[in-house]
Every structure is written in structure tokens, then in C-alpha cells.
Structure 1
Amino acid sequence: MNTHDTPAIAVHGLHKAYGHTVAVDEVSFTVARGRVLGLLGPNGAGKTTSMRMLLGLASIDRGQASIHGRPYAQLADPVGTVGAVLDAGGLHPGRTARQHLRIAAAMAGVDAARVDPLLDDAGLGQSADRAIRTYSLGMRQRVALATALVGDPSVLVLDEPANGLDPAGTRWLRTMLRGFAAGGGAVLLSSHILAEVAQVADEVVVVARGRVVGSGRVDDLTVHHGGDLEAYYLDLTAENAEVR
């Protein structure tokens, strides 16, 4: 296998059902090194379920999902390969941000000296020794994002990473993601903040009712909508809305 030509993330024909409810229906996409892909869709469209299957957190009924050519469970160094944020609510409220990142570093076998620069980059240096219970949602999101970077991964998988961030935090996130991609990293992110996705993503995949209904480069997809990703998205999802 030529690892250089292998997509950082490859999802082919993913299918997941819960009883009679199909959550993900033949979803396929790839993310190349050095690229940011936005996974878009209404609530319940299957975005988070697809990410969970990619990360081995949900079983795959049918299809394949791989990171650098291997299923997540077969990665030799998962923490050093993939950084993920699916829920910023899992932080211990009694710990400080510094304690949380030091524990994450120890579990990943990473030098603790990496922690303080990550806290500073995330804008948490002045509040790093406060209990996480005192943090706003946006600050907790910054902790989660910093934790995803502890292992110096080459892939990021982020579900609503801008959730709760103020304008300064959103700008930091945008700069961090573009810098990560510029360094050869690959990013898969979901977001409802379409204006932000338009600024940070190279490509998007739009899902509705568990299926891919649109995909491609942002500039190509929005050419008939004045470059407006939100207008493209709303038109596309309206066309594919479930009739009730």
C-alpha cells in the first residue's frame, strides 16, 4: 500500500440502523492530507453517527471506515494518529484544565511539557488552574480541543467544534484548523455554523436523512448561489427534506 496516496480518512458505503430506523445509509467520502472537509446536515441526518463509526465508538452494519488505510481499532498509535472531540461535556468538573491535559498527556505517553503551550494556544493560560466546573461552555470546548491535540495527531475529527465559542474563540479555532491542514493534517468537522465552515473547509459533504445529497469543493458547489454556502445548503436540504 502506498501510504502517501492513501486518504487520511476514507468512508465507503457506511450503513447503520437502529431497529427499523436507518441512521446512516450508504455514506461515502474521503479526506486527503492537508484538507478540511465539512460534514453538514440537519439534526438527525447521521453526521455524529458516521463519526462515531469512524472512531470505533459505534458498530458498522455495513461498509468500511478507515484512517490512514486502517480501521481505528487497528491503529498502532490511536492517540498519536487521531484527535477527536465529539462531546465537550465529558470533562471532570473538579479538575483544572492543566490537570486534565496532564492526565491526557500521561495516558498518551506524551511529555508533560507539551501541556502548557497547548493551554496558551487555546487561550486558557490565565484560567488553567481553575476548576472546570467554573468554565463556560466555550472554555470547556477549548479544553476539549486542546486535549485532542495532546498526542500531536495527523487527523482531527470534530463534532460541532465551535459550539459555545465566542468570536475570539471561533477565530482561534479557524486559525488552528487552517494551520493544522497547512502542516499536512486532515480535518473532518461537522458544524451548523455555515459561515464559519465556508471560511475553513476545502470541501463539504451534505447529508440528509442519512444519505449524501451533495458533495464537492465549496467554491464549485456555491457558484450558482453567489458563493453563499448557507444558500446552497438550505436549497439542497429543502429539496431532500422528509415529507411528513
Structure 2
Amino acid sequence: MTTIRIDGLHKSYRGFEAVHDVGFTAAPGRVVGLLGPNGAGKSTTLQVLLGLTRADAGTATFDGRRYADLEHPAQVVGALLDAGGLHPGRTGRDHLRVQAAASRLPADRVAAALSAVGMTPAADRRVRTYSLGMRQRLGIATALLGRPRVLVLDEPANGLDPAGTRWLRELLRAFADDGGTVLLASHVLAEVAQVADDLVVIGQGRVVAAGPLSELVTDRSLEDVYLDLTAATEGVR
């Protein structure tokens, strides 16, 4: 079991402060919904967490270790930030084979990951023929290859049909119930409300609310609470 801990995170780009003193925890057995408007700092936070960009200050760790310091990162963290970067000429199966080899994972993980996301029937088709929802499923299969203890997902429901959305919800719930840690960035508030245990709301680069969903959303909808919280950050920098 692995805990994500983000503490005092600051990141600026050419004088623009993308995140300011962001801090929160995602614990094992919990699905944490990371919410915020476009440009609020969600993607920057995830990029720092996954070692894709360097923070100006603060830390983002998995059980106290930065992503770059993990000996076998694919076995600790499975991530999906953008399903659009897939090689269009490869089959889904070949994509996973390449990813498994790069992460020094057993080849038999490929078939298991394809089965887990329902992509076995389409595994030998070229990625260029996939719908957006199929690309998302392949991206999630890539995240699952290493049998990680943590999932970090950015808009994983993008392009999924209603059946796919339900499947994703059940997958994330089962992963957390088995002791895994899920950090889920999404704009689909209705889905977050159904699967998340905890919420972190970011507005204008700052955490404006964090805690159990049951405490933050009581007598109103998540949409109403979210809109009120993010509206209150207008002009804040």
C-alpha cells in the first residue's frame, strides 16, 4: 500500500505561478477526486508528481520517495495523462509489448492488461483505427501493466460510452477496495461523485477545499459545491 503526499508545491512558468503551496494526501484504499477548472493547476500538479516537470519548491512523493527515485516505477505507479500519444501504426498488443519491455515487465502481463480493460478482441488492430474510448482503454491497460499500487489518471472517462464509464467506475472502486490508491483528475463531476471517497478542489493554483466527499457535499450537489468553491477563487493569485 502506497500513500501519495504533496506538500507545499510551487511551480511557475515564466513568472506565471501555476501552483501555489498545493498540498494534500491520497491514502491507500481511497479514490481521490482532483477537481478544478481548466488552468487551475491540476495537470501541473500531476506532472510534478510523475517527474515530468520539476517543482520550484515543495515535494510530491510516493511513501516519501520521488517518482524519479523509485527503483521499479511501473510496479508502484500506473499513470494515464494523455491517450493521444499512441503510435498510430502499432497494434494495441504491440504498444503494450513495447511498454512492458521498456519497464522490464514479464511479457504475459500484456494479455492480462488487455483482458482487464476489455480490449482483447481489438488487440491486433492498428491504433489508428481505434475510437477515442478505445484509446483510453489502451492507456488504462498501459497503466495496469506493472500491477501498480497507485493509479494516477487524468480524465480517464474521456471518450468512453455509458457502458465504458460504468466499467471504469467499477475498475477504480475495485482497485481502491483492494488497497490501491487512486488519484483521479476529472471534469465529469457526476462520475466523481459516484466513485470518489475524498475530494481536492484546486482553483487558480491553490487548494480551496480538501476532505471526504461526504463532508464536503452534504445537502447540495457536487456541482453546486464545486461551482461555489471555484467561483470564490476568481482574481486570486
With normalisation by structure 2, the TM-score equals 0.96
CA RMSD across the alignment:
1.2
State the partner residue of 2:181: 186
**Post-superposition offset of 1:120:** 2.0
Percent identity reads 59
Residue 222 of structure 1 pairs with residue 212 of structure 2 = no
**2 CA distance for matches of 1:58 and 1:94?**
29
Contact 2:109 2:146 in 1 (8 A): no
Which residue of the partner structure matches residue 116 of structure 2?
A: 121
| d(CA) in 2 for partners of 1:73, 1:111 | 22
- Aligned partners of 2:18, 2:40: CA distance in 1, in Å? 7
Please report how far the alpha carbon of residue 72 of structure 1 lies from its aligned counterpart in structure 2 after TM superposition: 0.8
* Counterpart position of 1:42: 37
Q: Who is 1:213 aligned against? A: 208
Please give the secondary structure, in 2, of the residue aligned with 1:233: helix
Within the candidate set 232, 235, 243, 2:228 is matched to 235
Indicate the SS of the match to 1:223: coil
Q: Does 1:56 align with 2:51?
A: yes
- Could you tell me which residue of structure 1 aligns to residue 77 of structure 2? 82
Unaligned runs of 5+ in 2: none
11-20 vs 105-114, which moves further: 105-114
Q: How far has the Cα of 1:121 moved from its partner? A: 2.2
The one-character-per-residue Cα deviations of 1:48-104 (angstroms, maximum 9, x if unpaired) are 000000111011101111012101111111111100111111110000111111121
Listed as ranges, the gaps of 5+ residues in structure 1 are none
How big is each residue's C-alpha offset from its partner over 1:104-140, in whole Å with a ceiling of 9 and x where there is no partner?
1222222222222321221211111110001111110
User: Using the alignment, how far apart are the partners of 1:123 and 1:73 within structure 2?
Assistant: 31
Match of 1:133 in 2: 128
For the residues of structure 1 that align with 2:115 and 2:49, how far apart are their CA atoms? 30
User: 3-state DSSP class of the match of 2:171?
Assistant: helix
1:145-169 CA-to-partner distances (Å, cap 9, x unmatched) read 0000000100111111111111111
Q: What's the secondary structure of 2:90's corresponding residue?
A: coil
Secondary structure, aligned partner of 2:108: helix
2 CA distance for matches of 1:20 and 1:65? 21
Distance 2:101 2:66 in 1: 24
Q: How many residues align?
A: 236
Helix, strand or coil: the match of 1:169? helix
Partner of 1:201: 196
